[in-house]
Structure 1
Amino acid sequence: MENIKKAMRHIDISDEGSNHRHAIPFSEFLEVVLKNPTGTIRNVFQVFHDLFTEHVGEGVDEYPNDPESIQYVSYDCSKLLVEGADHPFFADRLFANRLVNIVEALRTGAQQNKIYIFDGPHGCGKSTFLNNLLKRFEEYANTDSGTRYETVWRLDRRQLAEKGGNETASILESLFRMQQNPNKKQFDTIRTMALPESDGQFIEVPCPCHDNPLLLIPKALRRQFLDDLFDNNEFKYTLFTDKAYEWIFQDVPCTICGSLYDALLTRLKSPAKVFEMVHAVPYTFNRRLGKGISVFSPGDRPVKQIILTNEYLQRTINQLFSDSNQVRYIHSRYAKTNNGIYALMDIKSHNIERLIELHNIISEGVHKVEDIEENVSSLFMALMNPEDKKNIKEFQSFSDRIVYINIPYVLDLNTEVEIYRNIFGVRIDDSFLPRVLHNFARVIISSRISLRSEAMLEWIPKPEKYSRYCDKNLQLLKMEIYTGYIPEWLSEEDRKALTAKRRRRIIGESENEGRQGISGRDSIKIFNSFYTAYAKSGEMIDMAMLCKFFHSQKDLKSSIPDGFLDSLLLLYDFSILQEVKESLYYYNEDQIHREILNYMFAVNFEPGTSETCKFTGDKVHITDELLEGFERRMLGSKADKEKLLNLRKDTQKEYTSRTLTQEILVSGTPPTETRLFESLKDRYVFNLKEKVLDPFLENENFRRAIKDYAEEDFKTYDKKIRDDVTFLMDNLMKKYRYTEAGAKAIGIYVIDNDLARKFTNP
């Protein structure tokens, strides 16, 4: 018995078990408004935006100082759509940016008279996405940070029985009379008015439309009321100027609350007395009960009862006011999700009828219930397969009320890999050499991206210039841009040519991609076949295994572009060559910094002069040989004279227009942290690394030492080779997540396939 009592006490005191959300008088509600105005004065669109603010955040821009940035940032949607979900939904970068932009528009007032339809092919995860989003919204709306208040009336039988009641002066009455200098301290007096605890004395009448209690303040007086209520602060300025808050001045209460207010004012002769019967209660969301969130599947039959009422409440109200026509407690089913979310899962069968019925509601914002007009202000959402668009084609007037949000198959290779990790476990990485798992994702995504890209060809008219690193259709390059990454193997000219306008065009093409190719469901099946076939071998899965697998899949041949696997292998070879070079390369950073700073300074003077560099203190004898020597280390020994001069001119222009005038003199940026310095250093180091492997390729002992690394025989090699190989292995493991066995394998692979000479610049 003691254990039972203990368990019950725990339930009784736990937050989840109690979940009591008490009603508070209107005067106390105003105190809550003053303490937390942004949390209490908000509609469903603002709450939806706040959900994203709390669960997604601002996102990360990998190139914050890029003047050609298009704010295509990395958003982490895991808290919103993955954590705690039975079936996680992984939003790729493209969809996440699309979604966040829509949510930003919602908050700023673009939400009126719209239905948001998530449009995508079978197997893209639409239903999973919407279910997870609604679940998180429901959870958030029922927490303190997501709480909004709705109106509930507590009608005092005893006071209504008195004819007229007592007229008392209060701050509320003063506000309604629009006095010039209200004394806000009088709210303390109102707060002390406690409602007597007497069974049967009060009749609770909930607002079926979940109206914010502030909407009961007569519309003509509301602006003055809020002006008197708030001090002159930042929120007050936002309230009166931000489009997101227009609703608080424009909306009217539901017909039931409006009728109750009028009837009570007639009886009590005092707005203050009326507001003593107004209470506020947290708006509780419950999808299963259809409260605040209603979701309809195509097979859900329409209900026969169109008009909803409460006969007990109606009889009681009639008795209180002795007039059955004064307050009619009737409403539609749309009232249950007013200021909430109304969602349709797939536009087919009965959901076609529901969508058509929403036409007038979305267009006018009202719904007729017998003779009564019911306001409807909800967030309307729907899912749609491409073939179902024909179901609403004949309703052309509806087209401008629909906002389509494309939700295609995943086009971001990092997200595709996250899906594999989620389903098969994060330890799958241990079975792959670095890059190979992501290359599997690249093959899958190649089937979803268009073969011809006008935006890419406008940027790079001759794709064959990158034939050593990229496919002829530039899909591999486009995939990198979709992930937010600009590859280092691009030429300097093409990097500069990637303007914001071009980048937007490339990203914009994603709207028409991901609607065909290997679906999300099929990619999981294919990966399962691949993983189970090669993970058991005991060897780490490499590119040879990946290529062998896809070449053997005859049913996938038509989905994967011709030559794509060959180009993918070339890019892989080039990438791991850079990793080995980076891991072998050791440079004197101080010396490199000194050379770059001297060059940045020297290009501003005519050859034949001598100047003291203000950054290094070195006396620099400026000659063509000095400048050209540095430029050839940057561009390669075979670069022609024109390229050298262009580098010199570009450096001088950037230095005078931005580096010196804006970054160093105005912002106080150290010279080594300026954009020009970082750009020159990246290119300088890249070209120095190009030759780093040459001394080792001629030494057969170097290959054998890699093979014998960590073995007893490794001790037999001379100290220089042992140091070089150890340096290489340590860096491969630390920087690129190779295991010891993987680092040895990749080192031997680079040497045996002569990758250094294969990718030597012509």
Structure 2
Amino acid sequence: MANANGYGHEWIAMIRDMQDLRAFREQHWEGSFADYLDIVRRNPRVARTAYQRVYDMIMSYGYETYTENREELIRYHFFSDPMGNGEDAVFGLDRPLMELVQILKSAAKGYGTERRVLLLHGPVGSAKSTIVRLLKKGLEAYSATDEGALYTLVWETDEGRMECPMHEEPLRVIPPAFRRKILDELNAHNDSEYRVSIEGDLCPACRYVFRTLMETYDGDWTRVIEHVRVRRLILSEQDRIGIGTFQPKDEKNQDSTELTGDINYRKIAEYGSDSDPRAFNFDGELNIANRGIVEFIELLKLDVAFLYDLLTASQEHKIKPKKFAQTDIDEVIIGHTNEPEYRKLLANEYMEALRDRTVKIDIPYVTRFRDEVKIYERDFNDRTVLGKHIAPHTLEVAAMWAVLTRLEEPKHANLTLMQKLKLYDGRMLPGFTEDTVRELKAQAGQEGMQGISPRYVQDKLSNALVAHGAVGCLNPFVVMRELEEGLKHHSLITNERDRERYAMLLNDVRKEYDEIVKNEVQRAITADESAIQRLAANYIDNVKAYTQREKLRNPFTGRDEEPDERLMRSIEEKIEIPESRKDDFRREIMNYIGALAIEGRRFQWDSNERLRKALELKLFEDQKDSIKLTSLVSSVIDAETQEKIDVVKARLIKNFGYCEICATDVLNYVASIFARGDVMATR
């Protein structure tokens, strides 16, 4: 019943205006078999195989190439989840996804992998299920577009209307003896990358109707197809059309008919035989997934009887429903499993046939820091969650720790695990090159296949948000405490040595966080843009004169003077450039400026990361006495100092994303470091 204001009618009218009735009619098109042949001639892609359709669906969203460590990689936009606004986006797995797409491409071309079971293998929480969910969701959306259109057949007889229970390709209604001629005609003007082909025969239900009609019309096929209607097919997991999902149950309750269908006992009395296809439900997961994709959750936990069904389903593209001959299918079979289950498969000599028909694709944990951060930003994408502000670097410290647990100790004696994380993240470190990163990755074959799952970190972030209700801001200290306390009860950590190692890695994260916040407070104190630009310009002028063996004109005296060595060294020492390497560093800076000029770009004081850090440290050193942070830990603060502290706090809020609470916390924390006698340092 509409309310007094009549909003109900307005809302219904609003929905009416939003409807796309033209698209609905197109998606529910129905016509004769002759009409369908015309459609295939105009657009041969409607008769694609399941693998071809899945591959084209991925490629329809486009891709971009990029170079990482002198290796060209491809990022497929499909895996950013454009269908669902990024809620299932996959980050940091471009290499495994490239391998998956290459396998799908090979299968689409008919090179052999279309006769394999695709097995995503990796640790728990590594996005295996998400990848398959994307494929299923994408295929649904693709089938509703003009580019992804596909069709199925319907029989209209005196007994009524019967849709093909397995949503078959309508071209299968053409008898094998006539197919070659029809295919030659269809492919004569086919400029698609795929040739139209007709693989397999009708399903038992359609075959029964076809045979009955052929007998009725004394073998006149042209009369038979008068009973064939062709309609547009929209794939749907919810409606069990072209997309199936099978999940293992208790072994005592498993039944292979869940895959290949079962007898409909109510109809046996009507049709007189349990071998009459009209008395059979072709509704197993392999039946209903025909023309699309079927997912096997935890594939290797299946009973052996189910795995045997997969052998013929993958290799021969056939299934064996009870009481019927082998039935042709056309679908992508994809499953996922974890390491313990896969080791069991390798150890089982009776499952060699399945191993031989399986293509394994490793899906590891993310090992690049910035991609791990994106995973948590997707779930905690607003800086205010449950009424609490999330302090800067809260998600970053959680991501940093998670990635550290997945990395193998570097074999380089002078490289720490934290430095390895930074190299993987694309940061430059003195003495290390892109070749170093390639070498590190080659040495660590199992990297990312162990460690902490993002799921665990997400749970602890949620716990921290809920448990600390009195605190209006969630900060890194609370999260790190949650992560450490949770290790005591982590169900997947059975090795005490791993537990201790993960706890020790949190200490490394705390040290890194100390450096980050000290640097931010330092930058907030030295946020005088004009002062740092003057310092940078002065340094560059002196370095240019030094490297070109020239003198500088003093603007006050008008005399030519030697470059100011004291100034240059006071800046370079802040980032630990030794006296013996000063010439190399200065030439590096001048070469960098020259390279920017060639590209038509102008050098800015913060263009070079190392120089930016040195300049900020120098300016901080010059100005730190004007604001004594150590006074924050004192109970008495004079008005002048408080005013300066408030300025710094305002800069932290404006420039770095802090709120009033966490800005105060971080200033107090950095002040306590100074009070302990620590010095401001960077790596």
Query: TM over 0.5: same fold?
Result: yes
Q: Which amino acid aligns with 2:145?
A: D
Q: Against the structure 1 CA distance between its residues 690 and 428, is the aligned structure 2 distance closer, same or farther, given a 3 Å change threshold?
A: farther
Instruction: Tell me, in whole angstroms, the C-alpha distance in 2 between the residues paired with 1:67 and 1:122.
Output: 28
Q: Against the structure 1 CA distance between its residues 440 and 684, is the aligned structure 2 distance closer, same or farther, given a 3 Å change threshold?
A: closer
Q: Does the 8 A contact of 2:51 with 2:114 survive in 1?
A: no
The alpha-carbon deviation at position 572 of structure 1 amounts to: 0.7
TM-score (norm 1): 0.63
Deviations 1:288-309 (A, max 9, x none): 6643123233234122996889
Q: In structure 1, what is the equivalent of residue 449 of structure 2? A: 512
2:298 corresponds to which of 328, 334, 346:
346
Q: Does the 8 A contact of 2:117 with 2:357 survive in 1?
A: yes
Q: Which deviates the most, 393-402 or 699-708?
A: 699-708
Instruction: Tell me, in whole angstroms, the C-alpha distance in 1 between the residues paired with 2:607 and 2:12.
Output: 70
Q: In structure 2, what is the equivalent of residue 118 of structure 1? A: 120
1:449 corresponds to which of 406, 414, 427:
406
2:53 corresponds to which of 28, 47, 52:
47
Q: In structure 1, what is the equivalent of residue 661 of structure 2? A: 741
Q: In structure 2, what is the equivalent of residue 671 of structure 1? A: 601
Q: Does the 8 A contact of 1:298 with 1:350 survive in 2?
A: yes
Instruction: Tell me, in whole angstroms, the C-alpha distance in 2 between the residues paired with 1:497 and 1:595.
Output: 35
Unaligned runs of 5+ in 1: 158-199, 231-235, 311-328, 464-471, 611-620
Instruction: Tell me, in whole angstroms, the C-alpha distance in 1 between the residues paired with 2:2 and 2:529.
Output: 73
Instruction: Tell me, in whole angstroms, the C-alpha distance in 2 between the residues paired with 1:753 and 1:403.
Output: 54
The alpha-carbon deviation at position 339 of structure 1 amounts to: 2.1
Q: In structure 2, what is the equivalent of residue 167 of structure 1? A: none
Q: Secondary structure at the match of 1:538?
A: coil
Q: Residue 576 in 1 paired to residue 578 in 2? A: no
1:427 corresponds to which of 385, 401, 412:
385
Q: Secondary structure at the match of 1:112?
A: helix
Deviations 1:159-216 (A, max 9, x none): xxxxxxxxxxxxxxxxxxxxxxxxxxxxxxxxxxxxxxxxx69987748462264995
Instruction: Tell me, in whole angstroms, the C-alpha distance in 2 between the residues paired with 1:130 and 1:548.
Output: 32
Instruction: Tell me, in whole angstroms, the C-alpha distance in 2 between the residues paired with 1:655 and 1:592.
Output: 16
Deviations 1:522-557 (A, max 9, x none): 656655655555x23436454555566667678268
Q: Does the 8 A contact of 2:167 with 2:242 survive in 1?
A: no
Q: Residue 103 in 1 paired to residue 101 in 2? A: yes
Q: Does the 8 A contact of 1:149 with 1:212 survive in 2?
A: no
Instruction: Tell me, in whole angstroms, the C-alpha distance in 1 between the residues paired with 2:261 and 2:461.
Output: 52
Q: In structure 2, what is the equivalent of residue 717 of structure 1? A: 640
Pairing of 1:372-411 with structure 2 (within 5 A) = 374-389=327-342, 390-391=344-345, 393-394=348-349, 395-407=351-363
Q: In structure 1, what is the equivalent of residue 611 of structure 2? A: 684
Q: Secondary structure at the match of 1:754?
A: helix
Q: Against the structure 1 CA distance between its residues 57 and 751, is the aligned structure 2 distance closer, same or farther, given a 3 Å change threshold?
A: farther
Q: Which amino acid aligns with 1:717?
A: E
Q: Residue 565 in 1 paired to residue 506 in 2? A: yes
Q: Against the structure 1 CA distance between its residues 701 and 306, is the aligned structure 2 distance closer, same or farther, given a 3 Å change threshold?
A: closer
Q: Which amino acid aligns with 1:691?
A: K
Q: Secondary structure at the match of 1:494?
A: coil
Q: Does the 8 A contact of 2:632 with 2:671 survive in 1?
A: no
Q: Secondary structure at the match of 1:338?
A: coil
Q: Secondary structure at the match of 2:103?
A: helix
Q: Which amino acid aligns with 1:586?
A: D
Deviations 1:248-297 (A, max 9, x none): 35846658899969x98xx8999999988765422233446643123233
Instruction: Tell me, in whole angstroms, the C-alpha distance in 1 between the residues paired with 2:171 and 2:508.
Output: 64
2:30 corresponds to which of 23, 31, 36:
23
Q: In structure 2, what is the equivalent of residue 639 of structure 1? A: 577
Q: Residue 586 in 1 paired to residue 507 in 2? A: no
Q: Against the structure 1 CA distance between its residues 498 and 31, is the aligned structure 2 distance closer, same or farther, given a 3 Å change threshold?
A: farther
Instruction: Tell me, in whole angstroms, the C-alpha distance in 1 between the residues paired with 2:430 and 2:51.
Output: 45
Q: Against the structure 1 CA distance between its residues 579 and 29, is the aligned structure 2 distance closer, same or farther, given a 3 Å change threshold?
A: farther
The alpha-carbon deviation at position 689 of structure 1 amounts to: 0.8
1:494 corresponds to which of 395, 412, 432:
432
The alpha-carbon deviation at position 573 of structure 1 amounts to: 1.0
Instruction: Tell me, in whole angstroms, the C-alpha distance in 2 between the residues paired with 1:103 and 1:425.
Output: 35
Instruction: Tell me, in whole angstroms, the C-alpha distance in 2 between the residues paired with 1:373 and 1:737.
Output: 64
Q: Against the structure 1 CA distance between its residues 43 and 632, is the aligned structure 2 distance closer, same or farther, given a 3 Å change threshold?
A: farther
Q: Secondary structure at the match of 1:692?
A: helix
1:417 corresponds to which of 376, 389, 399:
376
The alpha-carbon deviation at position 93 of structure 1 amounts to: 2.5
Q: Does the 8 A contact of 1:223 with 1:249 survive in 2?
A: yes
Q: Does the 8 A contact of 1:120 with 1:406 survive in 2?
A: yes
Q: In structure 1, what is the equivalent of residue 493 of structure 2? A: none
The alpha-carbon deviation at position 738 of structure 1 amounts to: 0.1
Q: In structure 1, what is the equivalent of residue 624 of structure 2? A: 697
Q: Does the 8 A contact of 1:343 with 1:381 survive in 2?
A: yes
Q: Does the 8 A contact of 1:113 with 1:363 survive in 2?
A: yes
The alpha-carbon deviation at position 377 of structure 1 amounts to: 2.7
Q: Which amino acid aligns with 2:105?
A: R
Instruction: Tell me, in whole angstroms, the C-alpha distance in 2 between the residues paired with 1:27 and 1:366.
Output: 28
Q: Secondary structure at the match of 1:295?
A: strand
Q: Residue 750 in 1 paired to residue 676 in 2? A: no
Q: Against the structure 1 CA distance between its residues 511 and 276, is the aligned structure 2 distance closer, same or farther, given a 3 Å change threshold?
A: farther
Q: Does the 8 A contact of 1:91 with 1:415 survive in 2?
A: no
The alpha-carbon deviation at position 435 of structure 1 amounts to: 1.7
Q: Which amino acid aligns with 2:117?
A: I
Q: Against the structure 1 CA distance between its residues 273 and 50, is the aligned structure 2 distance closer, same or farther, given a 3 Å change threshold?
A: same
Instruction: Tell me, in whole angstroms, the C-alpha distance in 1 between the residues paired with 2:139 and 2:478.
Output: 46
Q: In structure 2, what is the equivalent of residue 301 of structure 1? A: 255
Q: Which amino acid aligns with 1:536?
A: G
Q: Which amino acid aligns with 2:469?
A: K
Q: Does the 8 A contact of 1:115 with 1:403 survive in 2?
A: yes
Q: Secondary structure at the match of 2:257?
A: coil
Unaligned runs of 5+ in 2: 4-8, 265-279, 490-495, 553-558
Q: Does the 8 A contact of 2:155 with 2:229 survive in 1?
A: yes
Q: Secondary structure at the match of 1:397?
A: helix
Q: Does the 8 A contact of 2:117 with 2:358 survive in 1?
A: yes
Q: Secondary structure at the match of 2:294?
A: strand
Q: Does the 8 A contact of 1:413 with 1:479 survive in 2?
A: no
2:316 corresponds to which of 364, 371, 383:
364
Deviations 1:25-57 (A, max 9, x none): 45654665687666x354323433455457x76
Q: Against the structure 1 CA distance between its residues 580 and 215, is the aligned structure 2 distance closer, same or farther, given a 3 Å change threshold?
A: farther
Q: Which deviates the most, 501-510 or 565-574?
A: 501-510
Deviations 1:604-646 (A, max 9, x none): x964699xxxxxxxxxx99995899869856758634653443
Q: Which amino acid aligns with 2:150?
A: Y
Q: Secondary structure at the match of 2:619?
A: coil
The alpha-carbon deviation at position 569 of structure 1 amounts to: 1.7
Q: Does the 8 A contact of 1:150 with 1:282 survive in 2?
A: yes
Q: In structure 2, what is the equivalent of residue 536 of structure 1? A: 469
The alpha-carbon deviation at position 430 of structure 1 amounts to: 3.0
Q: Against the structure 1 CA distance between its residues 568 and 727, is the aligned structure 2 distance closer, same or farther, given a 3 Å change threshold?
A: same
The alpha-carbon deviation at position 361 of structure 1 amounts to: 3.3
Tell me the C-alpha RMSD between the 2 structures.
5.8
Q: Does the 8 A contact of 2:575 with 2:613 survive in 1?
A: no
Instruction: Tell me, in whole angstroms, the C-alpha distance in 2 between the residues paired with 1:642 and 1:462.
Output: 20
Q: Secondary structure at the match of 1:361?
A: helix
The alpha-carbon deviation at position 125 of structure 1 amounts to: 7.5
Q: Does the 8 A contact of 2:248 with 2:298 survive in 1?
A: yes
